[in-house]
Structure 1
Amino acid sequence: MADVKNIRILKVFKALEAHPIIGISNKEIADGLGIPAYKVSRAIWTI
């Protein structure tokens, strides 16, 4: 289960890295990854 969480965190940060200047919202990341927005928020707060 921890591996799935770590993979999700990496995917979120790759999405953020792809938009360094303008940025991207949690909802946009969630939609792109096919996960709920709260999981994006949790991934960001994990670090």
Structure 2
Amino acid sequence: MERFSALFFSLKSALLVLIIALPLGVTGCNTVEGLGKDIQKGGQAIERAGKK
């Protein structure tokens, strides 16, 4: 019975970590995507300035 309790506690802890980490991971992806768009726009501005 003690092994079952330890296993249940481990699974419960892993699930809790997953529930907390998942939204943070999704938010991080959106942030990186936004950063990439900003860098791309900056590069386009440099290209336009170089063509003048």
Per the normalisation by structure 1, the TM-score is 0.42
* Bigger Rg, which one: 2
Higher relative contact order (CA 8 A, sep 6+): 1
